[in-house]
A and B are shown apart, each in its own frame.
Chain A
Amino acid sequence: MNKLVAWIDQRFPLTQFVKQELTEYPTPRNLSYLWNFGSLAALVLVLQVITGIFLAMHYKADAKLAFDSVEHIMRDVNYGWLIRYMHSTGASAFFIVIYIHMARTLYYGSFRKPRELMWWSGQGLLILLMATAFMGYLLPWGQMSYWGAQVITNLFRATPFIGDQVVIWLRGDFSVGDATLTRFFALHYLFPFIIIAAVGFHMVALHYVKSSNPSGINLQAKDNIPFHPYYTIKDFFGFGVFLIIYFVFVFYSPNTFIEADNYIPADPLQTPAHIVPEWYFLPFYAILRAIPDLFGGVVAMALSIIIFAVLPYLDRSKIPGGARYRPFYRLLFVVFSIDVVVLSYVGAKPPEGGLILVGQIATFMYFALFTALPAISIYEEKWLRRRGLPPEVEELITAEENQRDIREGKTQS
């Protein structure tokens, strides 16, 4: 064994890699359980890929056969019901985990310098995940699958000049049909592997800038501990807790995340009374509908996701870290969270009466909070300085400024 490792080590940095990136990889000792959600997302990704491959062995991507083949999986394939329910529950679990992961990043300001590339790659991952989930949702070929895809692909009509052509190009037909189903299946199988590659990028960036931590301050070397065994065991414990909750849904309430209408086979001639997207798209759907004009709605919806990218620049405060030492920022975070919940609620209901107005106000708030962040963060810094910063934070800011002066001095000479 040792000989084999030595043989490999001469040709490939195996031991060095494992040491540097896993066993001895330095990790802040003060991470809370909120830092478990990255590894949890990786676990769900693996579960989705494995169950997905087994589903693909029995699924038939054909408009005439798809619905029946899913029932065949549920009834005739050995443990097919388990694989299918794990996969359908896993999709929702994925979004829950990712949204918590994002909320943690927002709350603790983990997106701030020098972690911008982690934040952007994470955002790319979210968009890939959304696309994958959206295409996967078409595959059972139920009423919601069909009409959801019809509504969402139709949004691309908003593309200037070539809108109609883009919609046909996406669907492969004038309306969602067999051609759409087969291409969505192909892409639904492909995208997870692109996600895996993007996770690779996310990890390389992480291991270069290292984990953020609840204090928001980059720690001294002495405050770091080796990843193994401390965080391996902590992550495994997190896996255990997650799997218990996940399997409670899989075994005892697997249809919580499946709309009843999706057990009716797709019928192009009969529009369901009320088309709702999956829960994880609801806030964005509410923003889409808040704007009466199609083009405006689509732009607002796209912006609502893309706008996260500029956060590292919107936050003008020099106070390091996130909401912990920053009361105004914390308030913004809380208001934003409530706003997203309100949007989800509005997105789930038919757009009638007062709800239309609520949706519009919540949409306005959504963007207003981003827009107000620069001014608020600058004001907050002044306010905090007036009241006196804790000395260690003060020290950190001066240290950082000194460093920058040195760096810039060097480049000038």
Chain B
Amino acid sequence: MNMTLRIRLVILLLSLVSVSTNASASADVELRDIYLEVNAQNLREGFYTYNNLCRLCHNLKYIKYSNLSDVGLSKHEIDVLRGTNGVSDTLAASMPPSVANQAFGKVPPDLSLMAKARKNGTHYIYTLLTSYYEKSEAVYDNHLFQGIRMPDIFEYSVTENPKDKELIDKRVQQVALFLEWAADPKRDERKSMGVFVIAYLMVLTLLLFFLKRRIWANLQ
């Protein structure tokens, strides 16, 4: 999708936006659980969903092209993606912030930390994008975030067919899992390192415990 096409899409989507000023996330909507597992394929597809849809408006300012090998992209794929950008350039939205600001009355927030910046962030993102509903003819809103200025990207509110809904559901989960990775790219390294550190400490502590018992046994 090229730039002008994307912008045209925005304008199209914009015609659906009901601009409301009392934007607020409502606390009483229960977050939905993600049933997809974190694996290479889901992360990869999540990335492409981000790249093809969300990236129109949202930056990932802490993610460099080179980081994408962590979600399973080959060097060749990364080269194709980045075009003339450098490998250590970060992922910028296609729409310039000033244009977005004009269109939505707000620059869409950076998504690199979104999964950490909301309570239970991964589930929050998933729930947010699947909580759009049609308020009245061609006017939608969001149960989780009343008056949100982001359009219903997946057209969830007007999708009737359960099969299509399920497909959207899956894609949203994938993008949520991808954003979770983006917020915490060292998660896998952290978790695997933790096993060794804690196992080592357990053995050491057990030895110290027996040593302590032996030393204290000398006391009458």
Q: Which residues of A contact B3 (CB under 8 A)?
A: none
Q: Which residues of B contact A233 (CB under 8 A)?
A: 208, 211-212, 215-216
Residues from 216 to 266 in A contacting B, C-beta threshold 8 Å: 225, 229-230, 233-234, 236-237, 240-241, 243-244, 247-248, 250-252, 254-255, 260-261, 263-264
Q: Which residue of A lies closest to B119 (CB)?
A: A260
Q: Which residues of A contact B208 (CB under 8 A)?
A: 233, 236-237, 240
A260 x B202 contact (CB < 8 A): no
A74 x B186 contact (CB < 8 A): yes
**CA of A148 to CA of B25 in the docked complex: distance in angstroms?**
21
A247 x B119 contact (CB < 8 A): no
**CA of A251 to CA of B194 in the docked complex: distance in angstroms?**
5
Which of B116, B118, B198, B216 sits near A247, CB closer than 8 Å?
B198
A261 x B117 contact (CB < 8 A): yes
Which of A29, A81, A263 sits near B186, CB closer than 8 Å?
A81
Q: Which residues of B contact A260 (CB under 8 A)?
A: 116-119, 121
B204 x A240 contact (CB < 8 A): yes
**CA of A225 to CA of B183 in the docked complex: distance in angstroms?**
53
**CA of A66 to CA of B208 in the docked complex: distance in angstroms?**
42
B212 x A75 contact (CB < 8 A): no
Which of B186, B204, B215 sits near A75, CB closer than 8 Å?
B186
Given contact pairs A240-B205, A255-B116, A230 touches B198 in the complex (Cβ within 8 A):
no
Which of A75, A85, A248, A250 sits near B185, CB closer than 8 Å?
A75
B117 x A81 contact (CB < 8 A): no
A237 x B205 contact (CB < 8 A): yes
How many residues of A are counted as interface, with CB atoms below 8 angstroms from the partner's CB atoms?
A: 30
Q: Tell whether A71 is near chain B: CB-to-CB under 8 Å.
A: yes
Q: Which residues of B contact A234 (CB under 8 A)?
A: 212, 216
Q: Tell whether B113 is near chain A: CB-to-CB under 8 Å.
A: yes
Q: Tell whether B197 is near chain A: CB-to-CB under 8 Å.
A: yes
B66 to chain A: closest CB distance in Å? 11
6 closest cross-chain pairs (CB), A and B: A251-B194, A240-B205, A263-B117, A263-B116, A237-B208, A263-B113
List 28 A-B pairs, Cβ < 8 Å. A29-B219, A75-B186, A81-B190, A82-B190, A82-B193, A85-B190, A225-B219, A233-B208, A233-B212, A233-B216, A236-B208, A236-B212, A237-B205, A237-B209, A237-B211, A237-B212, A240-B209, A244-B198, A244-B201, A247-B194, A248-B198, A250-B194, A251-B191, A251-B193, A251-B197, A251-B198, A263-B117, A273-B24
Known pairs A82-B190, A237-B211, A248-B198. 7 more at Cβ < 8 A? Answer: A81-B190, A233-B215, A236-B208, A240-B209, A244-B205, A260-B117, A263-B113
B: which residues have CB within 8 A of A? 24, 62, 112-113, 116-119, 121, 183, 185-186, 190-191, 193-194, 197-198, 201-202, 204-205, 208-209, 211-212, 215-216, 219
